[in-house]
Amino acid sequence: MRRQVGGILHPELAAVIAGLGHGQRLVISDAGLPIPPGVRRIDLALRCGVPSFADVLSSVAAELAVERIVIATESDMAGHGRIREILARAFDHEILVDVVPHEELKELSASAVAVVRTGECTPYLNAVLVAGVSF
């Protein structure tokens, strides 16, 4: 058992975060994002809304150095503007956010180290986190 209180307890997710190198990708996804064959799936979804995208993102952000985030155009428009608010709450510093079509985001997920599937049931609420360095 880890001594630190408040960190990520899920052993597989904690190990993936610890093993990420500079420039590698970790996807935080809604419940519906297709996960490409061969990409590690860390499935946290319990039921619709649990855990939420925001909860998982903020937990990961507390433990992972992130230099850039990729989101889908569709999540940044069409009533899903809340993704910017979620990102701002999760990170205590400004991070470059790239916006690409959803199809391109799905292609990027094919080269991710892992996809973390949440119980989020808001369409297009996905983010590709690009690992940075803490030094």
Domain tally for the chain?
1
Q: What is the mean pLDDT of the chain?
A: 92
Tell me, yes or no, whether 81 lies in a domain: yes
Structural domain harbouring 68: 22-131
List 10, 22, 93, 102, catalytic entry? 22
Mean pLDDT of all residues in 33-40 = 97
- pLDDT score of 4: 58
- pLDDT score of 135: 86
Tell me, yes or no, whether 121 lies in a domain: yes
Structure confidence by residue, pLDDT tens digits, 89-120: 999 888 999 999 999 999 999 999 999 999 99
- Comparing C-alpha atoms, which of 38, 15, 10, 28 is closest to residue 71? 28
Considering the chain, what percentage of its residues have pLDDT values greater than 70?
Answer: 93
On the question of pLDDT at 124 being above 50, the answer is yes
**Any alpha helices (H) in 28-101, and if so which ranges?**
53-61, 73-76, 82-90
- The verdict on whether 22 is a catalytic residue reads yes
Tell me, yes or no, whether 11 lies in a domain: no
CATH number at residue 63: 3.40.1650.10
